[in-house]
Structure 1
Amino acid sequence: MPSAVLHPMFDRQILRVVIGSRAYGLDGTDSDTDRRGVFLPTADQHWSLDGVPEVLKEDPIEWMAWELQKFLRLALKANPTVLECLFTPLVEQATPLGRELLELRTVFLSKRLHATCGGYAEQQFAKLRRRTEARKPINWKHAAHCLRLLATGAKALAGDGFPVHVGPHRDVLLGVRRGEKSLEEVDELRAEWSSGLDLALRNSPLPATPDVEEVDAFLIHARRLAAKSKDLP
């Protein structure tokens, strides 16, 4: 663990996980360890005039955490980064309430994933093409990240959870990240994997929208626990 002094609210984390290349199976010897978490303030902190931050960041050491309500809202919108926190196999800390949150994770999966995974990838590839036209260098790691989102979104829409590890796509994505493919070849992959995402949407067993009522009940449950005791639930 880093020796840096963290914001005291990091001590209120109910869940802390590792995402990024180490969770994707794309890490190397020089890869950072990207830690993400969810924190629940005490009732006094939540009710005070000062309030609590929605997001905590410690950039030099790649740590970040969301306040529970903010995290849940993002998850309901099918934010891919937030969903990765719920499905990553690398869980470093989970309190009893954190484990309840993990058990709730499939509730957040819906057909909205097509827009968030596919839409983001399309926007980013458009930027990559503009950079090429302007004769600017391409961030191949970012290109691989966009492809990974298309593959993950397709698997999720097919009802396979939200797979974080890239599995059989590892070698292809590593090749893209190392710049071993031309932009035309990468764009062909994008088109192929985008079609797979569209097909997965048409056949998806997921609901059109997530179960907001169940998530709201969980948040109220968490707030009641925080009001009942200052101990981390």
Structure 2
Amino acid sequence: MKDAATSSIDACILKVVVGSHAHGLAGPDSDKDYRSVFVLPTAELFRVGFKYQGTRMMKEEEDETSWEIGHFLQLALQGHPLVLETLVAPVVTMDDWGAELRQLFPRLWSAQAAYESFLNYCDNQRKKMLEKKDGRPAKYAAAYVRVLFNLCELLERGTFSIRISETPVGEAVARIKAGHFRPGEVIDMGEHWTAEAARRLRTCSQQARPELADAFLLRVRKAFLR
């Protein structure tokens, strides 16, 4: 049986690198982005007045998004693209619990939920591109195409490429990210991969196994009981 962390604070069980460094698109000035999963001491969940914070955003020298394990599993079952990416991205640190969590990946997503969640995310990226949000339309345009392609991969082969630079859309995504694109061109690409995702959805029968997520979470909570 795995041992829980010995300190009274929450424990990080998984940390991965994401963004341009993971996608193979990093330039000399690219910052590193991270995502992580942490576990709260179980006793904290039962304290009077406790307010559960499922997501934490840390912006210092490096950006990091972190999810508490219960919230992370809930989002994974909903097909959240950033959460699913965390389960296949390059590992920075990981303990036995994190390794077991990553092994659950094939049981945490269903075709329909992933399809809807990925499309919602991509629609939001397209909107930000057209609005030129934060003055960085290229960032959102590249994410729009990349995540749609990842969805197609997921529905076809049960996983997806993190290093997008080595995929058939890698050259186009790199060019878009560098700012060499027209919005209409990006939308055309997006509509192509959206149609392809719909086609692949029709032949993908993948179903999640939420009972396995529940069993894993119960063992984690027992192990981290103070």
Amino acid at match of 2:137: N
Alpha-carbon deviations, 1:107-132, whole Å to 9, x = none?
Answer: 11211111111232234324544x38
Unaligned runs of 5+ in 1: 1-7
TM-score normalised by L of structure 1 = 0.83
Most deviating of 142-151 and 157-166: 157-166
**2:78–2:109 Cα contact (<8 Å) kept:** no
> CA 1:150–1:223 in structure 2 vs 1: closer, same or farther (change >3 Å)?
same
1:204-219 equivalent positions in 2, closer than 5 A? 204-207=204-207, 210-219=208-217
Amino acid at match of 2:189: L
**2:15–2:34 Cα contact (<8 Å) kept:** yes
Alpha-carbon deviations, 1:155-197, whole Å to 9, x = none?
Answer: 0011231332212222110111122121121121112111111
In the alignment, is residue 30 of structure 1 matched against residue 29 of structure 2? Answer: yes
Match of 1:147 in 2: 145
> CA 1:150–1:70 in structure 2 vs 1: closer, same or farther (change >3 Å)?
same
Q: How many residues align?
A: 213
> CA 1:65–1:126 in structure 2 vs 1: closer, same or farther (change >3 Å)?
closer
Secondary structure of the corresponding residue to residue 39 of structure 1: strand
Amino acid at match of 1:102: R
> CA 1:37–1:138 in structure 2 vs 1: closer, same or farther (change >3 Å)?
closer
TM-score normalised by L of structure 2 = 0.86
**1:159–1:204 Cα contact (<8 Å) kept:** no
Amino acid at match of 1:211: R
Match of 2:82 in 1: 81
Match of 2:188 in 1: 188
Moved over 6 A (4+): none
Match of 1:67 in 2: 68
Distance in 1 between the 2:147 and 2:129 partners?
A: 16
Tell me by how many angstroms 1:46 deviates: 2.7
Unaligned runs of 5+ in 2: 1-7
Tell me by how many angstroms 1:140 deviates: 1.2
**2:19–2:33 Cα contact (<8 Å) kept:** yes
In the alignment, is residue 222 of structure 1 matched against residue 223 of structure 2? Answer: no
**1:159–1:205 Cα contact (<8 Å) kept:** no
**1:128–1:138 Cα contact (<8 Å) kept:** yes
**2:38–2:68 Cα contact (<8 Å) kept:** yes
CA RMSD of aligned residues (A): 2.1
> CA 1:105–1:193 in structure 2 vs 1: closer, same or farther (change >3 Å)?
same
Distance in 2 between the 1:185 and 1:48 partners?
A: 53
